[in-house]
A and B are shown apart, each in its own frame.
Chain A
Amino acid sequence: MAKRIEVSGLHAYYGGTHAIEDISMTVEPRSVTAFIGPSGCGKSTFLRTLNRMHEVIPGARVEGKVMLDDEDLYGPSVDPVAVRRTVGMVFQRPNPFPTMSIYDNVAAGLKLNGVRRKSQLDEIVEGSLKGANLWEEVKDRLGKPGAGLSGGQQQRLCIARAIAVQPQVLLMDEPCSALDPISTLAIEDLIAKLKDQYTIVIVTHNMQQAARVSDRTAFFNIAGTGKPGKLIEIDDTSKIFTNPEQKATEDYITGRFG
């Protein structure tokens, strides 16, 4: 059920600010693609254009094309709500619904989509929590508030919530930046497991993480403050980290700037 993403000529703006400029790339299905680059280079902004979350910020807009297999996410008849169900997202900080139980958090998206039967909900909640490697830790306290879990568990709960609606693509915006190393490892293991089923795009500040989890890596950069972010190059992760085409990429990888 994973799909290929093909982006062409994409620009994003915040009000009058040109945030990212003319990005074109292909994201392969059933693989992990990592976005790396210095702060403010637009990688998170670009990620958010892939499920139309960019436009929920007041004054933000997008130009260009994002094809999910053969459908344009920005096509005139496309409802952003449907896009976000198809392209799931995990945020930098874990954000479970604070007033809901663990169970209800995972079931939230399903209930929106009209799944009402208890047995079906139970089945999918269990499956999603297992898929997020969280089931064993929470199966005895599904009725407890999600906010009571540790940071790493909360983040896996958010991943379970995202995959419960069976998206085609899973976007992750620095999912480990607020977590300790052990929780980070758990999430990375999970990403490796999930890529068998989903197209995964992950933004990360951590180059080792990109090298560990991704198949392909895209490097973003800005020419200077106030300038729009650009895609410098995208290639197999091994190639980017050993023999990149661009000088700027090599400088960044080797820690000469950024």
Chain B
Amino acid sequence: MSSQSGVDAAVGARHRADGRRLSTGRAGDRIFAGAARGSGILVLAIMAAIAVFLVWKAIPALQDNKANFLTSQDWNPNATPAKFGIAQLAFGTVVSSALALIIATPVAIGIALFIAFYSPRKIASGLGYVVDLLAAVPSIVYGLWGLLVLAPNMEGISKALNTALGWIPFFGGDSPGKNSIFTASVVLAIMILPIISSISREVFLQVPRAHVEAALALGATRWEMIRLSVLPYGRSGVIGASMLGLGRAMGETIAVAMVLTFAPGVNVHILEDGGNTFAANIAKSFGEATVTGRGALIASGLVLFVITLVVNMAARAVVARRKEFV
């Protein structure tokens, strides 16, 4: 069929169809398009509703609060008068996820490089799948494993770190333990490894062959090729990936809640037992929360929501800018 007659046939067919059931076609189109568009808008509505309802239900509790919400280290919303503040939660969240990021990023880059450039081609995708398995394990299982397997093994490491690096305030303190922010960070690091490494791996595999060969033809070793061609090309992708990992670590609830034991107040000695995060605190305190207690938890969840929103948006912006650049 020539293109000319094809167009004619198309036009003819459309005319016939329109003539036959013009209304059904049009109405069906309008309904379906409306439903599709409506679902798109629903996504926006859900996001807006999350913000609105969290604010709305947080306000009464915040009004009852007799302590400074931002600076107080106590969390006693069930007492009368209610006194609660997020200082300890914010400290624990930021420190544990930042530390997780510091531990996970270099390892994740190493894994990505291993799969993209070092492992034998034939098994590379299989190895990638092995790392992705880490992402398929639910956080409750990480929590169980972290609490019963990892934590007991962390005690020795914590003591050693305390002895060697105790002069750094973070690693200081008199009683390094196993249910510490440090242990939580290690669990978080393992959990965010697959996200960072899989995005980095994809970015590395997109490095144009021409750049790789340019470096090799100059007489670069494999590492020098990576340094000259791969890392500059993949840098912003890796940064975006790490930030997504950071967002995930900040919001992680159950694994952290299971690993950490409760101790009140901000403790900069992250090797010592205790500490709390926004998410873990919600999971742990919800069972015995009163009305005000629930409102207080919602208020703290709102703060977490805003923080992760900012981190995720920034991460997306970095990744998106990279797309334009390439």
Specify the chain B residue showing the minimal Cβ separation from A82. Answer: B219
A91-B210, A97-B211, A99-B233 given; A112·B220 CB < 8 A? yes
Q: Mark B115-158, 1 if CB is under 8 A from A, else 0.
A: 00000010000000000000000000000000000000000000
Q: List B contacts of A58 (CB < 8 A).
A: 121
Q: A97-B228, A98-B233, A99-B232 are in contact. Are A109 and B218 (CB under 8 A)?
A: yes
Please report the total number of A residues contacting B with Cβ < 8 Å. Answer: 29
Known contacts A59-B121, A99-B232, A108-B228; decide if A93 and B220 are in contact (CB<8 Å).
Answer: no
Bound state CA distance, A113 and B217, in angstroms?
A: 13
Q: Most chain-A CB neighbours within 10 Å: which of B214, B220, B232?
A: B214
Give A86 to B219 CA distance when docked, in angstroms.
8
Verify B218–A84 contact, CB threshold 8 A: yes
Cβ of B221 under 8 Å from chain A? yes
In the bound assembly, the distance between CA atoms of A169 and B217 in angstroms comes to 12
Q: Among A116-124, A158-166, A229-237, which stretch is in contact with chain B?
A: A158-166
Q: Indicate with 1 or 0, residue by residue over A93-117, a CB within 8 angstroms of chain B CB atoms.
A: 1011111100000001100110000
Q: B182-215 toward A: CB 8 Å interface, digit per residue (1/0)?
A: 0000000000000000000000000010111111
Question: With A and B bound together, what is the CA distance between A90 and B219 in angstroms?
Answer: 13
Q: Is B319 positioned at the interface, with any CB of A under 8 Å from its CB?
A: no
Q: Is the CB of A56 within 8 A of B219?
A: no
Residues 48-77 of chain A: 1 if any B CB is under 8 Å from the residue's CB, otherwise 0?
000101001011000000000000000000
CB-CB < 8 A to B220: which residues of A? 81, 84, 109, 112
Q: How far is the CA of A198 from the CA of B45 in the complex (A)?
A: 69
Query: Chain B contacts of A200 at CB under 8 A?
Result: none
Contact with B along A208-231 (1 / 0, CB 8 A): 000000000000000000000000
Q: Is B216 interfacial (CB-CB < 8 Å)?
A: yes
Residues of A within 8 A of B228 (CB): 97, 108
For residue A88, which residues in chain B have a CB less than 8 angstroms away from its CB? 217-218
Residues of chain B contacted by A112 (CB below 8 angstroms): 218-220, 224
Whether B253 sits at the interface, judged by CB under 8 Å, is no
Q: Is A7 interfacial (CB-CB < 8 Å)?
A: no
For A91, the chain B residues whose CB sits under 8 A away are 210, 213-214, 217
Q: Which of these, B211, B213, B218, B229, contacts A85 with CB under 8 Å? A: B218
Decide if A162 touches B213 in the complex (CB within 8 Å): no
Q: Pick the contact of A53 from B210, B216, B221 — CB < 8 Å? A: B216
Which of B210, B213, B218 counts the most A-chain CB atoms under 10 A from its CB?
Answer: B218
| A89 interface hit (Cβ, 8 Å) | yes
Q: Do A97 and B232 have beta carbons less than 8 Å apart? A: yes
Number of chain B residues close to chain A: CB under 8 A: 19
> How long is the Cα–Cα vector from A237 to B98 in the complex, in angstroms?
66
Which residues of A are found within 8 Å of B232, using beta-carbon distances? 97-100
Complex Cα gap A51–B219 (Å): 10
Tell me how far the C-beta of B121 lies from the nearest C-beta in chain A, rounded to whole angstroms.
4
* Neighbouring A residues of B212 by C-beta, 8 Å: 56
- Please, which residue of chain A has its CB at the minimum distance from the CB of B217? A89
In contact, A85 and B214 (Cβ under 8 angstroms): no
Indicate if the CB atoms of B213 and A53 lie closer than 8 Å: yes
Which of B121, B217, B221, B229 lies in contact with A97, CB distance below 8 A? B229
Kindly provide the distance from the CB of B200 to the nearest chain A CB, expressed in whole angstroms: 17
| Complex Cα spacing A83 to B216, Å | 10
B216 CB contacts on chain A under 8 angstroms: 53, 56, 84
- Is the Cβ of B210 less than 8 Å from the Cβ of A161? no
The residues of A that contact B224 with a CB separation of less than 8 Å are: 112
* Interchain CB contact (< 8 A) of B214 among A51, A86, A96, A165: A96
- The contact string, 1 if C-beta is below 8 Å from chain A, for chain B 213-249, is 1111111110010001100110000000000000000
Q: Give every chain B residue within 8 A of A82 (Cβ-Cβ).
A: 219
Q: Interface readout for A157-199 with B: 1 if CB under 8 Å, 0 if not?
A: 0100110010000000000000000000000000000000000
User: Are A165 and B219 in contact (CB-based, < 8 A)?
Assistant: yes
Contacts of A86 on B, CB cut-off 8 Å? 219
Chain B residues with Cβ below 8 Å from A85 are: 218-219
Nearest A residue (CB) for B210: A95
Complex contacts, A162 vs chain B, CB 8 Å? 217-218
A98-B233, A99-B233 as given contacts; A161 in contact with B213, CB under 8 Å: no
Residues of B near A56 (CB, < 8 A) are: 212-213, 216
Chain B residues, Cβ within 8 Å of A165: 218-219
Q: Are B233 and A84 closer than 8 Å at their CB atoms? A: no
Kindly provide the distance from the CB of B93 to the nearest chain A CB, expressed in whole angstroms: 35
Q: How far is the CA of A97 from the CA of B232 in the complex (A)?
A: 9
Hey, what's the 0/1 contact readout for A119-161 against B, CB within 8 Å counting as 1?
Answer: 0000000000000000000000000000000000000001001
11 sample A-B contacts, Cβ–Cβ < 8 Å, listed by A number: A53-B216, A56-B213, A56-B216, A82-B219, A83-B219, A84-B217, A85-B218, A109-B219, A112-B220, A112-B224, A161-B218
Interface residues of A (CB under 8 A from B): 51, 53, 56, 58-59, 81-86, 88-89, 91, 93, 95-100, 108-109, 112-113, 158, 161-162, 165
Known A53-B216, A86-B219; further 12 A-B contacts with Cβ < 8 A:
A59-B121, A84-B216, A84-B218, A91-B210, A95-B210, A97-B214, A99-B232, A109-B219, A109-B220, A158-B214, A162-B217, A165-B219
The 8 closest A-B pairs by CB, nearest first: A85-B219, A95-B210, A89-B217, A99-B232, A109-B218, A84-B219, A95-B214, A58-B121
